[in-house]
Amino acid sequence: MTDIVQIPAAAPETKGRSLFQLAALRFRRNRAAMAGCIMLALIALFSFVGPFFSPHSYDQVFPSYVSIGPNLEPRPDTSTLQEVMESVAARARVTLKEFNVEGEAFTATVTSEQPIDPRATRYFDRANEFENTKVVATEDEGRTLKVEGQVDREYFPFGTDSNGRDLLVRVMLGGQISIAVGLLASLVSLGLGVFYGATSGYIGGRVDNVMMRFVEILYSLPFVFLVVVLVVFFGRSFILIFLVIGAVEWLDMARIVRGQTLALKRREFVGAAQALGLTDWQIIRRHIIPNTIGPVIVFVTVVVPKVILLESFLSFLGLGVQSPLTSWGALISEGANNIQSAPWLLIFPAIFFVVTLFSLNFVGDGLRDALDPKDR
Amino acid sequence: MISFVLRRLASAVPTLFIVVTISFFLMRFAPGGPFNLERPLPPTTMENLMRTYHLDQPLWRQYVTYLSNAVTGDFGPSYIYHDNNVAQLIGKGLPYSMELGFYALILAVVGGVIAGTIAALRQNSFLDFAVMSVSTIGVTVPNFVVGPVLTLIFAIMLAWLPAGGWGDGSFRFLVLPMIALALPQLAVFARLTRGSMIEALNTDHIRTAKAYGLPSRAVVITHAMRGAMLPVVSYLAPCAAALLTGSAVVETIFTIPGVGRYFVLGAINRDYTLVMGTVILIAIFVIVFNLLVDILYGLLDPRVRHD
Amino acid sequence: MADTTDSILTVRGLKVDFSTPDGTVEAVKGIDLDVHAGETLAVVGESGSGKSQTMMGIMGLLAKNGMVAGSARYRGQELIGLPPKALNEVRGSKITMIFQEPMTSLDPLYTIGRQIAEPIVHHRGGTFREARKRVLELLELVGIPEPARRIDSYPHELSGGQRQRVMIAMALANEPDILIADEPTTALDVTIQAQILDLLKSLQQRFGMAIVLITHDLGIVKHFADRVAVMRRGEVVEQGRTPEIFERPKSDYTKMLLAAEPSGRKVSPPDHAPIILEGRDMAVEYAIGKGLFGGSSTVFRAVDGVNLRLRQGQTIGIVGESGSGKSTLGRALLRLLPSSGYYRFGTTDISGFDRSTMRPLRRELQLVFQDPYGSLSPRLTVGEIITEGLYVHEPELSRAERDRRAIAALKEVGLDPASRNRYPHEFSGGQRQRIAIARAMILKPKVVILDEPTSALDRSVQGQVIELLRDLQRKHGLSYIFISHDLSVVKAMSDYVIVMRNGRIVEEGQTDAIFEAPREPYTKTLIGAAFNV
């Protein structure tokens, strides 16, 4: 009842601020929400651009580096090279006489009872630690070879998984899939929900009754279960997973949009538009849709993390995307299985996952505060 | 009141029927079957199996048979667990799931409501901030992360509690799965309570109560709390149904022999009858708890009293 | 100027501030007031004057962002800054309050009996069972019928007037020294308003408590208060005995407020003016309680067999209390609702017209709503809002031409044309109502239906809007149907008055005839309630 806010006299060239501009201003003032936005941008950048800067691909297997812990130092460690070289020599059935490493290059002298086939260098290259091995000198009628080559140093800042794949790249890939599923499934649920809810709400009457009854029946199906059944029975492709999740999540959206539409229909400005002679379609376009956008945006920020959780839940149960593709949920599940021997497999994907969900949560709260009409 | 309950139970019958029908045909139209293993069975064996389980009959007949059996409480044999029929499997697993779920529900409701109330009464204080941070973690961190982390800390590193299994059923075995199960729901209850409590504290009738000099304890407990509990009570139904029918994730992580795993296992193995059994179980729980909550709601709010 | 000799509540230098994201707002700027034993003090002001916040501040009921400073002494005891426990000794026992919204001021979850008993139990001790007898007495006292049955009712089972009576019973429970009534009748229909005020007056005579009446309605003040304090923008601009204030106001603001009472009369059009809009046997029915599969449904007749003829240049006032069907009638006349009967616009029979056949006629038949906050779409600029009708009816207009028309329309309703680029939320209630009027006028209509166009506005703004509407009518030869529950506004606006109740016409006639010689008892009650209190 207090109408304290005084309207300043309009200056000649004033441009008003729309509610959206005001909301954007309020949102920008919210530090937690802005930090969330920045975090999300960084994580998206990491997931989608990161792989271009990594020499490893997500399905590249390093048999020499199975389940190694996270380390910022390059692999292999110089002190272990002698050992590695010995085992390589043993595999090539030669004896290692001399081995030196200088910087990135190594020289080795190997001998054998029999003349050595120069193709034995292949054994050196086959090890992940060495590359470009060349024979530089042959002595003792081929019984002694001098070889030179480069030490292949690999960086695994996040360590590797039990198949010897680079966890860093796999977390990036997992991010791509999780974010993509989250956004696409939310779009599916948004499209379905807005269309269904707006139709039901605007037409009203018996049509509305029947349409909402149908939604109620779908609600009474145990839904996580339905997703599981759909995924199990119709395959596990990426597209199907987000379609299925989107198809499950649209019910809430439909209800929200319907409620909004019903409320808007009773607002006087819609009555005024009817009195002006606008058609139904003009009213929906000019008055209904622009006014449902606020709550819909807020709800989308709730759906995205929910969808990501649902996808990761499916992956955890082994029903998500198939290897070698992966998602954060699948990585976390792998980590949970190896929690005693390789805890980093749980920790890294979990950190990214949790930070993303946290950021989305803050952004959602910020948007809700910024768009909430009760505020003004 | 009795007529209200009867009417609601009567209206639950068609819902249950539709749920069963949709699930039944959805599964049957999907490719694959319970005996399509990685190594194909010899055709004669396959034929025998199909005949034993009546899977060679036309679909509508199987449906009618299933429905008429289900009404008498016979949910058919399980195709993978050959020693047990579905009713026995559920009968065996349900007590475990329900006991665990019951403790988790108590923890979630009591903990969530208390935390939410404290946060609302001390709005924007450090306590509020702490409660909301913890509940944000609870909402955002899924239980398949919380479970393993709890195991890592309390079972492996500190070795205070067993890492999994039911053991002799003593409380020690229940602590970790209970927390993993309850945490997300506790967080939801805390947020719901905080929100509706803040709203309730700003209503006109709270102002009236204050204006008449009622002590703040009476204002908060008799007037604000009761109104604030309405949305919390509404959420109770889906939450209780979900917790009491077991969680696939938590039961897998902590190797608990409950019913939560059945629907995933059943679905993966196309164990039609087991899947149908769990669907019906969950649907019944949802219906019953919705009814209970509606009755409770009516007791709390005279405006929706059912006469 | 106020003597403190027998003052039981002495307010000195009271300030109330609110901290908002846009800085501190001073709602009350250091005011002095005195309440004497047994008197009625009216605190009068328009919305935003700080009249309510003054009392909330004294009673410790401000919103969380509110701050109170200064002094308020009740019989020598300082109330400002008192710890809640000590303040609770006074609140609800020595000083009690009733509020504007009887709908929300009671807790919907408890019976009224229990809520009335609560302050008794808390201040006097004892149990709820023991307090029951006293509650029954109180309900009897405030005129609730069948108190023994009603005591166990919930607030939603009572009417608005009965709820306000319950609030009064609660306020009297501990026989207070001071009763603060914050706009106690604003949310009620006129006839109920009068009953509640009569009740308060008789109870005051019986128990001798002082009443502080907070109101915007000068009509109530004149008949009810011993003394008046006029507030504006957080300050008391004038204080004194009621007759003095009304007869010899000193401050310009008080003079302006008193002059804002709608006055003047409209010149009637000649009797032979052509009929422009006519409705015969109009009826609007709603089915209530209809389920998905039909089921038992009852039919509610919102408008029941009403006849109406509007001549060119004429204003017909339709009065009635909430639920009388007056707004529904207005919409039925514009064919915006499914309704039965014979309808004629000019010489065209529009009885069978549907939405698309009505569309070309819409520009001639316009509508202005009550709520200036709800009737403007919050996402469009003022320019877009007022030119919306041009898109439908004159789609061939160029952008520049539309803009020119918008400027002209805004000027006509007395708004700065620069405001067409702004959004509705940046305007005050009165300005918004002008925007809504501009939206109707830009189409150059012949008939405008005004549905409570002034009810949500302050008195001073009301007068300006009425002036504007009369000007526009004179200039463009418009015909109005003016729907309102406010009889003084109707009297100032209309040539002909229709009194409605329960969907039917109770009485109709020329304005003077209705107001000076009403025939029906219902009309008499209405007029009595509105003008005499």
Which chains touch C (3+ CB pairs under 8 A)?
A, B
Query: In percent, how much of chain A has pLDDT > 70?
Result: 86
Please say whether the beta carbons of B190 and B116 come within 8 A: yes
Q: What are phi and psi of C375, to 5 degrees?
A: -90, 0
The residue to which tokens 């128990």 are assigned: C207
Instruction: Give residue C292's pLDDT.
Output: 42
Alpha-carbon gap, residue C286 to C94, rounded angstroms: 49
Q: Which of A151, A167, A189 is the last residue of a domain?
A: A151
Over the stretch C170-184, which tens digit does the pLDDT of each residue have? 998 888 999 999 988
Interface test with B, best of A43, A214, A221 (most B CBs within 10 A): A221
φ, ψ dihedrals at B145, nearest 5°: -95, -45
The yes or no reply on domain C275-531 and CATH 3.40.50.300 is yes
Judged by phi (left if over 0) then psi (alpha if -120 to 50, else beta), residue C509 lies in left
The answer to whether position A254 is within a domain reads yes
Per-block mean pLDDT, blocks of 10 residues, chain B (307 long): 78 81 77 64 76 76 83 78 80 88 93 90 83 81 80 80 75 85 89 87 88 86 86 85 84 83 76 82 84 83 68
The closest alpha carbon to C185, from C500, C532, C529, belongs to C529
> Looking at chain C, which residue has its C-alpha nearest residue A276?
C389
Chains in contact with chain A (at least 3 beta-carbon pairs closer than 8 A):
B, C
User: What per-residue confidence (pLDDT) applies to C1?
Assistant: 41
Per the listing, tokens 């209630």 go with: C429
Q: Which residue from A221, A319, A361 is facing B19, i.e. has the nearest CB? A: A221
CA distance A312 to chain C (A): 38
- Residue A132: is its pLDDT beyond 50? yes
CA A32 and chain centroid, separation: 21
Q: Confirm whether A376 is domain-assigned.
A: no
Residue range A335-364: mean pLDDT, rounded: 82
Domain with A86, as residue range(s), is 78-151
C-alpha dihedral, A288 to A291 to A292 to A296, nearest 10°: 160
Q: For residue C532, what pLDDT is reported?
A: 60
Asked whether residue A171 falls in the same domain as residue A268, the answer is yes
- Residues B68, B70, B72: CA angle, nearest 5 degrees: 80
Q: Which residue of A has its CA nearest to C358?
A: A277
pLDDT of residue C447: 92
CATH at residue A253: 1.10.3720.10
Which B residues in the span 254-273 are in contact with A, Cβ-Cβ below 8 Å? 263-264, 267-268, 270
Give the one of C377, C391, C431 whose C-beta lies nearest to A269's C-beta: C377
Listed range (A267-281, A314-328, C448-462) with the worst mean pLDDT: A314-328
Spatial separation of the C-alpha atoms in residues B172 and B170, rounded to whole Å: 6
Under an 8 A CB cutoff, do B147 and A336 touch? yes
pLDDT of residue B39: 64
| A25-31 mean pLDDT | 79
Contacts of residue A210 in chain C, CB cutoff 8 Å? 292
Residue A264 lies in a domain: yes
Cβ atoms within 10 Å, residue C5: 7
Chain C closest CA to A211's CA: distance in Å? 11
Contacts of A335 in chain B (CB under 8 A): 148
Among C13, C33, C17, residue whose Cα is nearest residue C25: C17
User: For residues C342 and A45, what is the distance between their CA atoms, to the nearest angstrom?
Assistant: 68
Amino acid (one-letter) located at B251 = E
pLDDT for A2 equals 38
**Burial (0-12, 13-18, 19+ Cβ within 10 Å), C488:** middle
CB contact under 8 Å between B142 and A361, yes or no, is no
Q: Are the beta carbons of B205 and C118 separated by less than 8 Å? A: no
Would you give the DSSP letter of residue C294? B
The token pair that represents C395 in the structure block: 């789609």
CA distance C11 to C229: 13
Ordered structural domains, chain B, with CATH: 2-71 (no CATH), 91-304 (1.10.3720.10)
Of A109-113, A184-188, C425-429, give the range with the top mean pLDDT.
A184-188
Verify that A362 and A275 share a domain, yes or no.
Answer: yes
Q: With a cut of 0.85, is the ipTM above it? A: no
∠ Cα C482 C486 C489 (to 5°): 60
> Read out DSSP for C341-357?
EEEEETTEE-TT--HHH
Mean pLDDT rounded to a whole number for chain A:
76
Whether A144 and A190 map to the same domain: the answer is no
CA C124 to mean position of chain CA atoms:
37
Taken as a whole, chain B contains a residue count of 307
Which residue has 């609110």 as its token pair? Answer: C18
Does residue A341 sit in helix, strand or coil? coil
**pLDDT on residue C355:** 81
**C89 close contact with B: CB closer than 8 A:** yes
Last residue of a domain, one of A122, A151, A180: A151
Are A174 and A143 members of one domain? no
Question: Is A272 in contact with C443 (Cβ distance < 8 A)?
Answer: no
- Looking at residue C211, what is its pLDDT? 93
Give pLDDT < 50 ranges for chain C: 1-4, 290-295, 533
Closest CA to C435 of A290, A289, A269: A269
Is residue A147 situated within a structural domain? Answer: yes
Residue A13 confidence class, pLDDT cut points 50, 70, 90: very low
Q: Are residues A349 and A313 in the same domain?
A: yes
Q: Are residues A143 and A286 in the same domain?
A: no
- What would the mean pLDDT of A36-61 be, rounded to a whole number? 84
**Per the domain annotation, does A10 fall within a domain?**
no
Q: CB-CB: which of C47, C369, C388 is closest to A1?
A: C47
| Shared-domain flag, residues A232 and A200 | yes
Count of CB atoms situated within 10 Å of the CB of C508: 19
Q: Are residues A98 and A232 in the same domain?
A: no
CA pair distance A83, A62, nearest whole angstrom:
18
Quick one: pLDDT band at residue A16, thresholds 50, 70, 90? low
Select the more confidently predicted residue: B265 or A78: B265
Domain final residue pick, A95, A130, A151: A151
Residue at A3: amino acid letter: D
Nearest CA among C426, C438, C432, C447 for reference residue C386: C438
Partners of residue C96 in chain B, C-beta under 8 Å: 211-212
Q: Do B267 and A228 touch (CB under 8 A)?
A: yes
Q: What is the CATH number of the domain that holds A137?
A: 3.30.1360
- For chain C, say whether A1 makes contact (Cβ under 8 Å): yes
Nearest of B102, B108, B142 to residue B241 by alpha carbon: B102
Q: Which residues contact A250 (CB under 8 A, 6 or more apart)?
A: A188, A189, A190, A192, A193, A196
Has residue A17 been placed in a domain? no
Write down the pLDDT at residue A8: 41
Show Cβ contacts of residue A346 under 8 Å, excluding neighbours closer than 6 positions: A332, A335, A336, A338, A339, B145, B148, B149, B152
Is residue A356, in this structure, part of any structural domain at all? Answer: yes
C-alpha B287/C-alpha B5 separation (Å) is 12
User: Which one of A268, A270, A281, A369 makes the best mutation probe of the C interface by having the most chain C beta carbons within 10 Å?
Assistant: A268
- Are residues A139 and A238 part of one domain? no
> Beta-strand (E) ranges in chain B?
none
Pair (A144, A177) in one structural domain: no
Q: Is residue A72 situated within a structural domain?
A: no
Q: Cα separation of B109 and B97, whole Å? A: 18
Separation between Cα atoms, residue C53 and residue C28, nearest integer Å: 7
Do A225 and A349 sit in the same domain of this protein?
A: yes
Residue B103: the pLDDT is 93
Domain-wise residue ranges, chain C: 1-94+177-259, 103-173, 275-531
Q: What are phi and psi of C95, to 5 degrees?
A: -120, 125
As for how many domains chain A has, the answer is 2
Please tell me whether residues A126 and A249 are part of one structural domain.
Answer: no
Complete DSSP assignment for C405-444: HHHHHHHHTT--GGGGGS-GGGS-HHHHHHHHHHHHHTT-
Say yes or no: domain C1-94+177-259 is CATH 3.30.70.580: no
